[in-house]
Amino acid sequence: MCKMKKFGNVLWGIVLIVVGVIFGLNAVGLTDINVFFRGWWTLFIIVPSFIELFRNTNKMWSFIWLVIGIVLLLCAQNILSFSLIGKLIFPFILVMIGISIIFKDTFNKKIADTIRTLNSNKGDFEEYCATFGSQQSDFSGQQFHGANLDAVFGSVELDISKAIIQADQVINANAIFGGIEIRVPTGVNIKVKSTPIFGGVSNKVKTEYNESLPTIYINSVAMFGGVEIK
């Protein structure tokens, strides 16, 4: 995964270099390349989505945004009709959400199977649900055996940065019009399986996988909400 992210960074570098060279050559009169063609603004959707295909573990939504960007570009070029796309956009979104839900375990099958196994024993799981409110939990110095977090129009904060973790654990985090913040410890592996539906899952923890360390699996769904791991 780190290699894919590095490749994504290389792509961003190439894009910026190419744009810089074009502007430079135009400035000195060697070229006359019109960067601001009809629909140029769609590149702000197309380029990041394409690059995220190489960086993001959840490629489904990167692909969806790439398709949306390309369709908008074709509309701006009068190849497709904005009025037709306007009529089809809502059904398209529903179909894509359905496909992402059906096949969400296909793209990360190994992680999904491990999460399913860990979820089969929920006896020691902590349960936190915030509906139009907030909940905070700190496991400093305590054993952690997994948790279910649900934020519906609310927020949940889980701090296991100083918890005792001796085996693989799973955190099921569902943010629906709400937010979830998870603070994880050092000395563990972090693996994320996410399903963002007009929401976002942000993993700010950068670790190299170590087989000798326990792994925290974060199984997240963000629907018009956000899950942040740090």
Task: Assess whether 84 and 116 both reside in one domain.
Answer: no
Whether the pLDDT of residue 158 is over 90: the answer is yes
pLDDT of residue 80: 82
Compute the C-alpha angle 22/25/29, nearest 5°. 135
Please give the residue range of the domain that contains residue 137.
109-229
Task: Assess whether 123 and 206 both reside in one domain.
Answer: yes
Task: Assess whether 66 and 164 both reside in one domain.
Answer: no
Task: Assess whether 217 and 129 both reside in one domain.
Answer: yes
Task: Assess whether 30 and 89 both reside in one domain.
Answer: yes
Q: Which two tokens stand for residue 29?
A: 């009169």
Task: Report the number of distinct structural domains present in the chain.
Answer: 2
Percent of the chain with pLDDT over 90: 23
pLDDT of residue 46: 85
Whether the pLDDT of residue 162 is over 60: the answer is yes
Q: For residue range 27-50, what is the model confidence (pLDDT) as tens digits?
A: 888 887 777 778 888 888 888 888
Cα distance between residue 123 and residue 146, in whole Å: 10
CA 74 to chain centre: 27
Mean pLDDT along residues 51-70: 72
Task: Assess whether 141 and 79 both reside in one domain.
Answer: no
pLDDT of residue 104: 60
pLDDT range class, residue 1, cuts 50, 70, 90: very low
Of 32, 67, 102, the position where a domain reaches its end is 102
Let me know how long the chain is.
Answer: 230
pLDDT of residue 6: 60
Mean pLDDT along residues 167-196: 90
Exposure b/e, 72-90, CB count within 10 A at least 16 = b:
bbebbeeeeeeeeeeeeee
Task: Assess whether 114 and 200 both reside in one domain.
Answer: yes
Q: What is the DSSP string of the chain?
A: -HHHHHHHHHHHHHHHHHHHHHHHHHHTTS----SS-TTGGGHHHHHHHHHHHHH-S-HHHHHHHHHHHHHHHHHHTTSS-HHHHHHHHHHHHHHHHHHHHHTTTTTTHHHHHHHHHHHT--TT-EEEEEESSEEEEE-TTSB---EEEEEESSEEEEE-TT-B--S-EEEEEEEESSEEEEE--SSSEEEEEEEEESSEEEE-------TTS-EEEEEEEEESSEEEE-
Q: For residue range 164-179, what is the model confidence (pLDDT) as tens digits?
A: 998 999 999 999 889 9
Task: Assess whether 157 and 94 both reside in one domain.
Answer: no
Cα distance between residue 146 and residue 172, in whole Å: 8
Q: Which carries the bigger pLDDT value, residue 66 or residue 181?
A: 181
Of 48, 77, 102, the position where a domain reaches its end is 102
Whether the pLDDT of residue 4 is over 80: the answer is no
Task: Assess whether 22 and 41 both reside in one domain.
Answer: yes
Of 102, 133, 164, the position where a domain reaches its end is 102
Mean pLDDT along residues 85-111: 69
pLDDT range class, residue 208, cuts 50, 70, 90: confident
pLDDT of residue 103: 61
Q: Which carries the bigger pLDDT value, residue 159 or residue 202?
A: 159
Task: Assess whether 132 and 225 both reside in one domain.
Answer: yes
pLDDT of residue 229: 92
Task: Assess whether 129 and 185 both reside in one domain.
Answer: yes
Task: Assess whether 219 and 114 both reside in one domain.
Answer: yes
Whether the pLDDT of residue 199 is over 70: the answer is yes
